[in-house]
Amino acid sequence: MNIVTGILSIVLAYIIFDTGIYFGYYGYPIDLGIFRIPLSIMFLIFGLYMIFKRKNNLFNKKEKYLICPKCKESFSILDLKDSICPTCNIITIDIDEYYKNK
Ligand SMILES: [Zn+2]
């Protein structure tokens, strides 16, 4: 959904930049004049942000791992319920935080 919004935003940025006309909520064209450049840049940045944000979220979810401080077992965040170690029944910690404090 964010990717669709991002692409639409970039297309809109191109139309505004190319024609200098923005079709508002009521359907009639508004001549933007000099404002077409900052407005198209704004839509372009918003579009890229939406696409990049989505990619980043997928990456983070995939790479997140937890470790149990007692038995030293590591788990994917997707396999654990409420971040609790199934063997020791205690809260696990982020694997990056664990090695940072060593
Ligand atoms: Zn454990």
pLDDT in the model for residue 59: 56
pLDDT in the model for residue 55: 61
pLDDT in the model for residue 73: 93
Distance 81 CA to ligand 1 centre (A): 13
Distance 84 CA to ligand 1 centre (A): 8
Q: Are 32 and 21 in contact (CB under 8 A)?
A: yes
pTM over 0.85: no
Distance 52 CA to ligand 1 centre (A): 36
pLDDT in the model for residue 25: 66
pLDDT tens per residue across all 102 residues of the chain:
678 889 999 999 998 888 887 776 677 777 888 888 998 999 999 999 888 876 655 555 556 889 999 999 999 888 887 889 999 999 999 988 888 876
Q: Are 17 and 9 in contact (CB under 8 A)?
A: no
For residue 88, the number of C-alpha atoms closer than 13 Å in the C-beta half-sphere is 14
